[in-house]
Structure 1
Amino acid sequence: MRTDALATTLAGARVLLFDFDGPVCDVFAGLPAPRVAAELAQLVASKDEALGAKAAGTDDPIEVLRISYEANSALGQEVEQALTAAEVRAVAVAGQPTPGSRGALEAAKSAGRPVAVVSNNSAECVRAFLELHGLSEYVLEIVGRPAEQPHLMKPNPHPLLMAAELLHVDVTACVLIGDAVTDIQAAHAAGATVIGYANKSHKPEAFADLGAEAITEDMQAIADALLDGVSD
């Protein structure tokens, strides 16, 4: 359901920034993240047994990447290449876009709001998914995981600042739509506003605690609010 906070937040946006995994796509729906994390941990273990044991303690592929880079940049690069390949495989079997996301992207275009995707996933997998589902025309820029610089992933504001630069706007004119605490943190660190996409029951409270300007449990509500703004 659309809220006044959602409408107000979108009304102030010159540019919309979409996080990828969640608002647009469930990246690991068909190739589960724990399986990818385990594959990456095995790769790490083949190079460094102790580090591999540490990496095996998480089911988050991005965390395995961070662990690898913190220990050894060359190993980190190898893990990153493997993760990117796994992400591309994953989006090929991830299924349809998040319900309402296609409508939100179409509405953004109708409302004259340029869109960029800002993601801790690779630009390669974002591009592959958008092409597969006929969504490329709605996204002007893709800012994916910074190659060989995992410290610049969200919650670092770097991806948002880069997207704003590519779209020739001040980042304060951008609204990020994200489903993670790190999205809220990155947006506020950059000076942008943020809509929390609360796709799990614990998220509305967490997003509110972090000061998200608006919260929605439905991506279609974003489309409806944008289209209402066009018709006003």
Structure 2
Amino acid sequence: MTHDDQPSGVLEHARVVFFDFDGPVCDVFARLPASEVAKQLTALLSIQHETAGAEAAETDDRIAHETDAAIGQAVEQALTAAEVEAVAVAGPPTPGAVESLQAARSSGRAVVVVSNNSADYVQRFMELHGLGKYVARTIGRPSGEPHLMKPNPYPLISAAEQVHVDVTLSTLIGDSLTDIQAAHAAGATVIGYANKPHKAALFAEAGADAITDAMQDIADALAA
């Protein structure tokens, strides 16, 4: 545990638990390096739009948010193809992820995966590992509307509406600053999963309601 506030206190009043996918549930590009995928997408973007390609090379975002619609669609399709390729070689779920999904479902809470990855990729991984039975909904990257991805609160608000719960009664488990920002914008609580040492300080500065470096802490809190 890496923060004064415990996940159990944050989750106590949550009626729905949102799980970001890449990190809290699995490492999407563990065996198909994200850096290589990013280089391929940047090269594709550069061929079609030199300026946008240069900008993409300087950012961690996997999709350029401010390009011509047709170009953006081509890049998105390439990213989805890379994700589908990655699922075939993906490793096991993040340690503690299965237990967390099980505990959330067993507690009577709604469980929704809310990801900036494609819903197709997420669903394939969940099916491959027998995790679909724990999840009520899967909210993936809005096709053709990258501006609605996290940190935009839209995915969380949409997910809450689909399970008929006020978004302010939800908690998001995420491993990026965009997760923290999206949760705050939606009025939800958020637990930062600091799966890399430097993230704990970033999440604390961003105002995460709780921070942990182990998904098993989430499972224990939900089972308590």
Structure-1 separation of matches of 2:76 and 2:122: 15
The CA deviation string for residues 74-100 of structure 1, in whole angstroms up to 9 with x for no partner, is: 011111111111111112212000000
2:186 counterpart of 1:190: yes
Which of 201, 208, 223 is the equivalent residue of 2:204? 208
Q: Which residue of 1 aligns with 2:112?
A: 116
Whether contact under 8 Å (2:115, 2:139) holds in the other structure is yes
Q: Which residue of 1 aligns with 2:6?
A: 5
Tell me: CA distance 1:212–1:54, structure 2 relative to 1, closer, same or farther (3 Å): closer
Structure-2 separation of matches of 1:55 and 1:209: 26
* 1:10 shift after superposition: 1.1
TM-score (norm: length of structure 2): 0.94
- How many residue pairs match? The answer is 223
The CA deviation string for residues 144-199 of structure 1, in whole angstroms up to 9 with x for no partner, is: 11111111111110000000000100000000000111111100100000111111
Tell me: CA distance 1:70–1:7, structure 2 relative to 1, closer, same or farther (3 Å): same
* 1:64 shift after superposition: 4.6
The DSSP-based 3-state class of the residue aligned with 1:115 is: strand
Q: Give the letter for the 1:191 counterpart.
A: G
Structure-1 separation of matches of 2:136 and 2:201: 32
Structure-1 separation of matches of 2:202 and 2:210: 12
The DSSP-based 3-state class of the residue aligned with 1:23 is: coil
Q: Which residue of 2 aligns with 1:157?
A: 153
The DSSP-based 3-state class of the residue aligned with 1:169 is: coil
Structure-1 separation of matches of 2:23 and 2:62: 20
Q: Which residue of 1 aligns with 2:63?
A: 65
The CA deviation string for residues 37-91 of structure 1, in whole angstroms up to 9 with x for no partner, is: 1111222233234443443445x4xx2521xx52211011111111111111112
The DSSP-based 3-state class of the residue aligned with 1:65 is: coil
2:92 counterpart of 1:96: yes
Q: Give the letter for the 2:30 counterpart.
A: A
The DSSP-based 3-state class of the residue aligned with 1:164 is: helix
The CA deviation string for residues 104-159 of structure 1, in whole angstroms up to 9 with x for no partner, is: 00111111111001111111110111011110101110111111111111111000
Q: Which residue of 2 aligns with 1:83?
A: 79
Please identify which structure carries the higher helix content.
1
Q: Give the letter for the 1:65 counterpart.
A: I
Q: What RMSD over aligned residues (CA atoms) do the two structures have, in Å?
A: 1.7
Whether contact under 8 Å (2:180, 2:192) holds in the other structure is yes
Structure-2 separation of matches of 1:49 and 1:13: 46
The DSSP-based 3-state class of the residue aligned with 1:175 is: strand
Structure-2 separation of matches of 1:142 and 1:19: 10
Whether contact under 8 Å (2:7, 2:191) holds in the other structure is yes
Structure-1 separation of matches of 2:108 and 2:55: 47
Unaligned residue ranges in structure 1 (runs of 5+): none
* 1:4 shift after superposition: 6.0
Whether contact under 8 Å (2:5, 2:209) holds in the other structure is no
Q: Which residue of 1 aligns with 2:101?
A: 105
Greater mean deviation of Cα atoms: 111-120 or 38-47: 38-47
Q: Which residue of 1 aligns with 2:130?
A: 134
Structure-2 separation of matches of 1:73 and 1:4: 43
The DSSP-based 3-state class of the residue aligned with 2:10 is: helix
TM-score (norm: length of structure 1): 0.91
